[in-house]
Amino acid sequence: MKKILEKKSHQISFPFFILLILFTFIISCNGQSKIKSNKNNKIQSKTTNDKPPSSLFFVEQNSIPNDTFAPLYYKSQLCHWVRNIIQDKKETLWFGTNHYGVMRYNGKYLEYFTPEKGFGGTRTTAILTDYEGNVWFGNSGGITKYNNRSFTNYSEKDGLISNEVWTITIDSNGIIWVGTSDGVSCFDGKKFTPFPIPKAVVNNTESVISDNRISIILADSKGSIWFGTDGYGICKYNGKTFTHYTTDNGLPDNNISDLMEDSKGNIWIGTMYGGVSRYNGKLFSNFTKNGIVNGIEVGGLYEDKKGNIWFAAENNGVYRYNGKSFTNFHKKEGLTTNGILSIFEDNQGRFWFGGWKGLFRFDGKSFTYVTNDGPWEK
């Protein structure tokens, strides 16, 4: 390290050096990470023992712009990204993460499942429970089934169209629909079948992020399947024909981030650049365009047991809609992240919010940050 300072003393400040030494000492005490450098004294990589808490970021020389740092984990912190939340029939809570597979809380303790423990991928993008009580996960390695005893992984070698899975849903017939970076596969429990989605004709192809990625799939109560795309709007399949919804039909944006059906049969749409909209079967109501809510990137759509609609808006916290008005929750209520990705109410009435900075609990008035130590049961 002394040699590095002599060569690059004009680039590394003394306070930063002390900070780096301190962080390295902490990590060394935990025995969870090591830093390697190459012959040019350039930090090359780090290795860990696959335990997300107590991790240390790593940097290369000259790679820290304007004295900014990557996220630092402390000992009791959960993983930094919580993408999705669900509760299974045994009332076990599952939390999908962005780097450490999936977390499970069974009422007594928290456990991580990673590829080293048989889980299919490091990034968990979707979770659902089927009619038999199995839990299914969409992840960066395909899809994974958990039967309360063990994991079974399915990937391209089993017929899945792509291992990059972004969304999964189950219809009334028990068919699992899988949205990937390369389109859709259907799984009947035995085999995967490709399901081609016709593209809509859009006027502005510059907004197309991906030609084939399916960002979200919704199976509605009437038997139709809705597919959200990355630039071609929404495609609905009613079992016989396809119907396209784009900005030409009143959709606020053709880049779809989330879809949800509420208890009244309305379809709620979260978009990347057009905010949130509601479709009643005839017309789209764009609440963002009308200035009722803020934030153009919307996700985490959820309906609670009282019929309230929740969603997250980038840089604007979360909103709750009671059918008449919207209530905004942000930093003053304790929500210390600009990016909520998932919202869930469990069977005990506890509200969980997962996002860029981990996991939060909501008691009806304020948010509490959740660590490995909780709060879990309160």
pLDDT band at 70 (very low <50, low <70, confident <90, very high): very low
Instruction: Summarize pLDDT for 151-180 with one digit per residue, the tens.
Output: 999 999 999 999 999 999 999 999 999 999
Q: Domains, the chain, ranges and CATH?
A: 2-67 (no CATH), 82-370 (2.130.10.10)
The residues that bridge with 270 in the sheet, in sequence order, are 258, 276
Q: pLDDT digits over 252-300, tens only?
A: 999 999 999 999 999 999 999 999 999 999 999 999 877 888 888 999 9
In degrees, to the nearest 5, what angle opens at C-alpha 174 toward C-alphas 170 and 179? 35
Contact (CB, 8 A) for 160 and 178 = yes
Q: 90 near 363, Cβ under 8 Å? A: no
Tokens 């930094």 map to which residue? 80
Do residues 371 and 77 touch, judged by C-beta distance below 8 A?
Answer: yes
270 in Cβ contact with 258 (< 8 Å): yes
At position 334, the amino acid (one-letter code) is G
> CA-to-CA distance for 125 and 122, rounded, in angstroms?
10
Residue 53: name the closest of 364, 266, 359 by CA.
359
Residues ≥6 apart with Cβ < 8 Å to 230 = 208, 209, 210, 211, 213, 215, 255, 256
Identify the residue whose tokens are 């948010």. 367
pTM, whole model, 2 decimals?
0.79
